[in-house]
Amino acid sequence: MPDKQSSKVPVLTSETAVMAVIGDPIRHSKSPLMHNAALAASECDGVYTAFHVLPEQLGEAIAGMRALGIRGMNVTIPHKENVIAHLDQIDNHARMIGAVNTIVNDNGTLIGYNTDGPGYVRSLIEETGIDLEEARVLLIGAGGAARGLAYALLHGGVKQLVIANRTADRAERIVDELHSIGNIEATALIDGIPQVKPDQVDVIINTTSLGMHPNVEEMSVQASYLMPHMIVSDIIYNPLETKLLAAAKAVGARTHSGLGMFVYQGAIAFELWTGKKAPTEVMRDAVLRAMQEVR
Ligand code: ATR
């Protein structure tokens, strides 16, 4: 008689779609948990794992993906840029950003996508209900994450985008690249004060690492700049409530945490691999539960 335990063992066959995340380091990735919960909830014949791939092994890892017929991969630090050289096609968004976080193996053709920016925008819209076409957005930071978000926000039809960065030149460079897509300008961030009037800002998005564990006491924007009419968003999700978000709550502003970006970048990848709508609530719960267990 089969016992309860053995009836829970998933049946994996040569038909099972295999997905994985590759990165270095990779041990703490929440992607396997999130995606396996989504695959189970959607009754997909699929499994998602994680591989620790060193930079010098990236080419071999992608060759392995081809040889084994692995259906999909997520790509994380430090491989997002270097993986491009090993793929067959790059979608326009990922090409523009110069970074891939999702690979789809379409019958042997490896296609690279970037779901980070679109995932962030979908999360912001679905979780706050804002109308992007009416929103004046202030993006803090001008690194790779800011660039991806700026591109996705402009594509989403944002009314106005201002990029504020400590090194104003870097913000100017993003503006030079993207000004043909929409209404974008650069400004300086001086001692945590963006050089744009706060009453002209509806949404602030922190894309810097200030406030991320273990530097939880840092914030990119001074609390005195925050106003009650604003939505304040942080792409950091560890901790779930950064010091910036706590300060925003304290002045009566609405907040939006980085967990949504993580969930929705995964949701878009899931939809590319499976063709099914991602169960985003199941995914969010799985990540939240895992984060609470760590504490
Ligand atoms: P990523 O690619 O992850 O976005 P990055 O390219 O290293 O990372 O960019 C980090 C961003 O955080 C930059 O905008 C950086 O500002 P500078 O361009 O002036 O360096 C910003 N940043 C990092 N530390 C900061 C600090 N102490 N104060 C203000 N901004 C900071």
Q: Is the CB of 142 under 6 A from ligand 1?
A: yes
Q: What is the CA(208)–ligand 1 centre distance, in A?
A: 5
Range of weakest confidence among 2-11, 98-107, 140-149, 173-182: 2-11
pLDDT tens figures, 22-68: 999 999 999 999 999 999 999 999 999 999 999 999 999 999 999 99
Q: Ligand 1 pocket, 114 CB below 6 A?
A: no
Catalytic-labelled residue, pool 8, 80, 276, 277: 80
Helix (H), strand (E), coil (C) string for the chain: CCCHHHHCCCCCCCCCEEEEEEECCCCCCCHHHHHHHHHHHCCCCEEEEEEECCHHHHHHHHHHHHHHCCCEEEECCCCCCHHHHHCCEECHHHHHHCCCCEEEEECCEEEEECCHHHHHHHHHHHHHCCCHHHCEEEEECCCHHHHHHHHHHHHCCCCEEEEEECCHHHHHHHHHHHCCCCCEEEEEEECCEECCCHHHCCEEEECCCCCCCCCCCCCCCCHHHCCCCCEEEECCCCCCCCHHHHHHHHCCCEEECCHHHHHHHHHHHHHHHHCCCCCHHHHHHHHHHHHHHHC
Residues whose CB is less than 8 angstroms from the CB of residue 74 and which lie 6 or more positions away in sequence, other chains included:
19, 20, 21, 22, 31, 101, 102, 103, 266, 269
User: Residue of the nearest CA to atom 22 in ligand 1?
Assistant: 208
Q: What is the pLDDT of residues 251-291, one digit of tens each?
A: 999 999 999 999 999 999 999 999 999 999 999 999 999 98
Ligand 1 atom 15 nearest Cα: 141
| CB of 208 closer than 6 angstroms to any ligand 1 atom | yes
Q: Whats the size of the chain, residue-wise? A: 295
Q: 8 pLDDT band (50/70/90 cuts)?
A: confident
- Select from 209, 221, 235 the residue to mutate for testing ligand 1; criterion: most ligand atoms less than 8 Å from CB: 209
Q: Residue 135 C-alpha to ligand 1 middle, in angstroms?
A: 24
- Give the per-residue pLDDT at 4: 52
- Establish whether residue 167 lines the binding site of ligand 1, counting it when its CB lies within 6 angstroms of any ligand atom: yes
Among 190, 208, 242, say which to mutate for ligand 1: greatest number of ligand atoms within 8 Å of CB: 208
224 CA to centre of ligand 1 in angstroms: 21
Q: For residues 285 and 41, give the distance between their C-alpha atoms in angstroms, rounded to a whole number.
A: 12
Quote the radius of gyration of the chain (alpha carbons, Å): 20
Residue 145 Cα, ligand 1 centroid: separation in angstroms? 10
80 is catalytic: yes
Confidence of residue 294 (pLDDT cuts 50, 70, 90): low
Q: Rounded to the nearest whole angstrom, what is the distance from the C-alpha of residue 143 to the centroid of ligand 1?
A: 6
Q: Tell me the pLDDT tens digit for each residue of 200-237.
A: 999 999 999 999 999 999 999 999 999 999 999 999 99
Segment 10-27, tens digit of pLDDT: 799 999 999 999 999 999
pLDDT at 3 over 80: no
Ligand 1 within 6 A of 46 CB? no
Instruction: Give the atom of ligand 1 at the shortest distance from the alpha carbon of 166.
Output: 19
In this predicted structure, what is the pLDDT of residue 88? 98
Tokens found for residue 173: 């460079």
Sign of the torsion formed by the C-alpha atoms of 87, 93, 98 and 99 = negative
